[in-house]
């Protein structure tokens, strides 16, 4: 039986990943913080992090997980001065503490999570926002642990993830609202790269297999892209069609946001052995139910 430590297991993708690993017969521990909501996942053990590095060293020495899956993160499309500390704590400090504890306990396999937003305008590195910059900062820190301590890492840079169980109310929630009332949108010409959460979870499992098979010599980074970004207007049309909705979207009624991604990053490497299987037509089906009945589902646009 394989053992995993998962951070971010109370979140949208981490929760799905933890369930998948349990279903596959892994023993899984979720690293949570005091006040984290329940994972709602029977069979999942929880360790409440006291915030110290020593706590993580003790935990990893005890668990000796075969793979650590690091998904915990604070996502903010835009930040205010008060957000700087929580962004750094969640996206840099926690990861650094985890990598240190991995080095100390000789727990060497890590699947990490980045974002396509590290690559504005197709750049090797140009972060869209401070959130993306903190993701890169942790990736840079990992290079030290890879070189000096032998960590083997696979970082999956995600695009927009959607599917059942997303508590965040963004694009699909706005489209659902548009079935009931006029909703102001931008001009809608930006391309959006949507990947179903089941495909994203499969990417994490594929990355873990790669690590377990000894195929990763140091650090690898892959883009978990649909390979088929589509204009927002087209996404809205597919959503309406697959859910039998008439949408009252007011295109162009609001401006694009600053540093809007008009074309998602397309130069990332594809993870060997993985490809997305669920297209929008299939993935959107059933997600258009009015929020009163199905308010926990949606697409989060961005991050």
Ligand X SMILES: NC(=O)c1ccc[n+]([C@@H]2O[C@H](COP(=O)([O-])OP(=O)(O)OC[C@H]3O[C@@H](n4cnc5c(N)ncnc54)[C@H](OP(=O)(O)O)[C@@H]3O)[C@@H](O)[C@H]2O)c1
Which parts of this chain interact with ligand X (CB under 6 A)?
A: 7-8, 10-14, 32-33, 36-37, 71-75, 89-90, 94, 113, 115, 158, 160-161, 300, 303
Q: How far is the CB of 135 from ligand X (least distance, A)?
A: 7
Q: How far is the CB of 167 from ligand X (least distance, A)?
A: 7
Whichever of 77 and 212 has its CB closer to ligand X, that residue is 77
Q: Which residue's Cβ has the minimum distance to ligand X?
A: 11
Q: How far is the CB of 230 from ligand X (least distance, A)?
A: 16
Whichever of 264 and 288 has its CB closer to ligand X, that residue is 264
Whichever of 13 and 249 has its CB closer to ligand X, that residue is 13
Helix H, strand E, coil C: the string for the chain is: CCEEEEECCCCHHHHHHHHHHHHCCCEEEEEECCCCCCCCCCCCEEEECCCCHHHHHHHHHHHCCCEEEECCCCCCCCCCHHHHHHHHHHHHHHHHHHHHHHHHHCCCEEEEEEEHHHEHHHCCCECCCHHHHHHHHHHHHHHHHHHHHCCEEEEEEECEEEECCCCCCCHHHHHHHHCCCCEECCCCCCEECEEEHHHHHHHHHHHHHHHHCCCCCCEEEEEECCCCCEEHHHHHHHHHHHHCCCCCEECCCCCCCCCCCCCCCCCCCCCCCCCCCCCHHHHCCCCCCCHHHHCCCEECCCC
Q: How far is the CB of 76 from ligand X (least distance, A)?
A: 10
Whichever of 248 and 296 has its CB closer to ligand X, that residue is 296
Q: How far is the CB of 214 from ligand X (least distance, A)?
A: 26
Whichever of 85 and 248 has its CB closer to ligand X, that residue is 85
């Amino acid at each position: 039986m394989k053992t995993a430590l998962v951070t971010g297991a109370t979140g949208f993708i981490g929760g799905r990943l933890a369930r998948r690993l349990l279903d596959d017969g892994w023993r899984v521990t979720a690293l949570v913080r005091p006040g984290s909501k329940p994972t709602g996942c029977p069979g999942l053990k929880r360790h409440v992090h006291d915030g110290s590095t020593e706590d993580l060293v003790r935990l990893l020495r005890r668990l000796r997980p075969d793979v650590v899956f690091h998904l915990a993160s604070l996502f903010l499309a835009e930040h205010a001065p008060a957000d700087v500390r929580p962004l750094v704590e969640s996206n840099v400090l926690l990861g650094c503490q985890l990598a240190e504890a991995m080095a100390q306990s000789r727990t060497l396999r890590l699947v990490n999570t980045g974002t396509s937003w590290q690559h504005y305008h197709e750049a090797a590195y140009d972060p869209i926002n401070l959130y993306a910059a903190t993701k890169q900062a942790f990736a840079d820190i990992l290079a030290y642990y890879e070189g000096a301590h032998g960590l083997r890492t696979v970082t999956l840079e995600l695009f927009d993830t959607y599917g059942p169980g997303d508590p965040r109310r963004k694009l699909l929630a706005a489209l659902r609202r548009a079935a009931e009332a006029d909703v102001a949108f931008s001009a809608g010409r930006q391309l959006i790269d949507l990947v179903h959460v089941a495909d994203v979870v499969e990417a994490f499992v594929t990355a873990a297999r790669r690590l377990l098979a000894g195929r990763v010599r140091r650090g690898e980074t892959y883009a978990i892209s649909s390979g088929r970004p589509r204009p927002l207007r087209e996404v809205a049309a597919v959503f309406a069609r697959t859910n039998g909705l008439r949408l009252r979207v007011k295109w162009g009624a609001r401006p694009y946001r600053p540093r809007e991604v008009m074309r998602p990053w397309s130069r990332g490497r594809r993870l060997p052995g993985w490809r997305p299987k669920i297209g929008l037509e299939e993935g959107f089906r059933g997600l258009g139910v009015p929020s009163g009945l199905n308010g926990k589902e949606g697409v989060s646009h961005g991050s």
